[in-house]
Structure 1
Amino acid sequence: MRRAPGLSVRGKLTLSYAGFLMVAGVLLLAAVWVFVLRHLPAYTSVSGGVLVRSYLLRDFASAAGAVLVFLLAFGLLGGWILAGRMLAPLARITDATRMATDGSLAHRIRLPGRTDEFRELADAFDTMLARLQAHVTEQQRFAANASHELRTPLAISKALLDVARTDPDHDTGELVERLHAVNIRAIDLTEALLLLSRASRRSFTRERVDLSLLAEEATETLLPLAERRGVTMETSGDIAPVAGSPPLLLQLTMNLVQNAIVHNLPEQGTVWVNTTVHPHTVVLTVENSGERLTPQLASTLTEPFQRGTERVHSDHAGVGLGLAIVETITQAHDGTLTLTPRPVGGLRVTVELPATEFRV
């Protein structure tokens, strides 16, 4: 926004210092007049002669004028120097802001010295720059990964169509089936990206939701998938009231349960779904048996397009956004997501959300 030029903050502070010093000087001289000079008699005997009050007042007025002129000059000069020293940190913050505006997020102010208002502002600005840099880096990596994932089904579709065009005798039924599967995967990936974007914007209406009912709905919906894979599911817990978006929280629960089913033992696997209520939070826990995971690997599973193992390439392998969507929905509901490898194998996922009063 364009603004008309005005007096700088340093100039305003300088005038304020000088003005305050002048007012203090005037008050001091007025006090001398009121309490001392005003009560002098017209003639006062002193050693060496007689002191006339009028002469004394004239000399005092001349001296007071000189003092005020000196205070004005001293106030302007001293105020300018002091204002410059006081505003030096602000200049560094302004320079860092301009650099960030130009796209340089790696610069940090790192203002030295003890804590004061300017240093608190500089530290807060450095923290903001660090988060912005991490967010931009994450978005760039996400865009690159999303482009790669979207390009894969398009490239496969192009290859299948090229084969059909060059080989008219090719089995069209098989071609249609493969194109259908590739198209479904592309649609699922696009919908997952849209859901991720919607959750990150927090563009939803909060309602009272019982998380335990969502857990039961998710397990019932995914029961056929669990039976086909030989996975047993166990659901337990209490009424878990939270304030949030029912579709998003259901998607969160579905993603966790499906992930627990798919990334499980080849046979006789188990999934445990539990909800618990604490004084101020509600906790949804989804555990599954499976291969042993290292803490380092578990910490990367919420990154977009990350998968726990390379062995999963089946019809329900997903698009690599399941836990990323879970994390985004959790953050959009002011909650925390924790992934902990189980010592005997598998993963324990905990979603902790703020509790709300539940009324029937």
Structure 2
Amino acid sequence: MDRSPGLSVRLKLTLSYAGFLMLAGALLLAAVWVFLLRYVPDRAMLVNADSVTPGVFPVRSNLLHVFAPRAAAVLAFLLVFGLVGGWILAGRMLAPLARISDATRIATTGSLAHRIRLPGRKDEFRELADAFDTMLARLEAHVAEQQRFAANASHELRTPLAITQTLLDVARNDQDRGNDELVDRLHAVNTRAIDLTEALLLLSRADQRSFAGEPVDLSLIAEEATETLLPLAEERDVTIETSGDRTPTIGSAALLLQMTTNLVHNAILHNLPEQGTVWVTTSAHPESVVLTVENTGDKLTPQLVATLVEPFHRGTQRIRTDHAGVGLGLAIVRSITQAHDGALTLTPRAAGGLCVTVQLPAAPPDARTCP
């Protein structure tokens, strides 16, 4: 936005300081003048020792001639002192803003690693500088995450395209080869590309919070997700146990269903080879609702668990060759949880497996009628 040039803040503060000092000095001199006018007589009697007749001479007029020049000199001194002192004081007061402005200019060039780190005790300028440093840290982390995500997404999308190109090149060079096998492999690769694209779109939708909030019962969402995945659980010899109370919250029913489905799906896939168990529970608290998905499985280290929510991360201890997925399951869960102002916690079980807890804000009492 183009703006016309104006006075600097330092000059404005200097003029304000000088003007206030001049006003205070003028009021003080006026008070002194009123005091003198009240208590100094208009004329005074002068008695001569050699004469019996006293002399009379004016006093206030002489006082005015003496007081006025000195008052003007005092006001002139106050003006100069106010301008010089105000300029110095304004500079010292605005020094933190100069550092904040420098940091802002550096940030606009794309360098987000710079921090103000304003020294001194806590005041308004320190709070502003600390808030700006916090914003820069979060922005730097967000940009780094987006760059890493874009690189991973490009790599993941390039893989099925490269496989498709290879299959087509082989088919072109080998005209005698049957098309059935080629079609099947192309169908599988295309399905994977579609799944990955839909997952990326869902992740973007969750990150942008482009949904309208509505009353949702998280326990009903959990029941629907488990019923949908029950055939997969039976196929993999996994038992699903559900329990819990009514858990009303506010959010997107479709996104919360996707979040719960991803959690239950992962719990089924990354389980014991046979006779595995998945526990899905919901609980309601005064100001929050909690969804917990827990499963048996291999023992996991805290270091591995801490990386599972990263996009396109597939831990070698948690992958199965028959169902690798697109690597966005828990990343989508985290984004949906954050979009609903919730908290996601992953904890390795001592006996093996993983415990995932999603805590969301409870719906207000007047909005707990879920569809």
Quickly name the TM-score band, shorter chain normalised: over 0.9
Shift in Å, 1:2 = 1.1
Instruction: Name the SS for the 2:306 alignment partner.
Output: helix
Select 1:241's aligned residue among 248, 252, 257. Answer: 248
Normalising by structure 2, we get a TM-score of 0.94
Shift in Å, 1:315 = 4.4
Shift in Å, 1:47 = 11
1:150-201 per-position Cα deviation (integer Å, ceiling 9, x unaligned): 0111111111111101001222111111110100000000000000000000
Shift in Å, 1:33 = 1.5
Inter-partner Cα distance in structure 1 for 2:239 and 2:7: 74
Inter-partner Cα distance in structure 1 for 2:195 and 2:234: 23
Shift in Å, 1:51 = 7.1
Instruction: Name the SS for the 1:287 alignment partner.
Output: strand
Inter-partner Cα distance in structure 2 for 1:33 and 1:259: 89
2:291 counterpart letter in structure 1: L
Inter-partner Cα distance in structure 2 for 1:276 and 1:267: 29
Inter-partner Cα distance in structure 1 for 2:320 and 2:280: 25
Inter-partner Cα distance in structure 1 for 2:302 and 2:120: 39
- Contact 2:270 2:318 (C-alpha < 8 Å) held by counterparts: no
Shift in Å, 1:308 = 3.3
Q: How does 1:184-333 map to 2 (within 5 A)?
A: 184-310=191-317, 312-333=319-340
Q: Could you tell me which residue of structure 2 aligns to residue 14 of structure 1?
A: 14
Q: How does 1:42-191 map to 2 (within 5 A)?
A: 42-44=42-44, 52-191=59-198
Inter-partner Cα distance in structure 2 for 1:55 and 1:287: 99
Shift in Å, 1:52 = 2.2
Q: 1:130 to 1:58 in 2, by over 3 A?
A: same
Normalising by structure 1, we get a TM-score of 0.97
Question: How many matched pairs?
Answer: 360
Shift in Å, 1:204 = 0.2
Inter-partner Cα distance in structure 2 for 1:46 and 1:59: 20
1:94-125 per-position Cα deviation (integer Å, ceiling 9, x unaligned): 00000001111000101111111111100100
Residues 1:5 and 2:5 are matched in the alignment: yes
1:102 counterpart letter in structure 2: T
Deviant stretches of 4+, over 4 Å: 45-51
- Contact 2:40 2:59 (C-alpha < 8 Å) held by counterparts: no
1:211-258 per-position Cα deviation (integer Å, ceiling 9, x unaligned): 111101101101111111111100110011010000000000000000
Could you tell me which runs of 5 or more consecutive residues in structure 2 were left unpaired when the two chains were aligned: 49-54
Q: CA RMSD in A?
A: 1.6
2:173 counterpart letter in structure 1: T
Instruction: Name the SS for the 1:87 alignment partner.
Output: helix
Could you tell me which runs of 5 or more consecutive residues in structure 1 were left unpaired when the two chains were aligned: none
Inter-partner Cα distance in structure 1 for 2:93 and 2:30: 32
Bigger radius of gyration, 1 or 2?
Answer: 2
- Contact 2:301 2:348 (C-alpha < 8 Å) held by counterparts: yes
1:259-315 per-position Cα deviation (integer Å, ceiling 9, x unaligned): 100111111111000000011000000000001111111111111011233562444
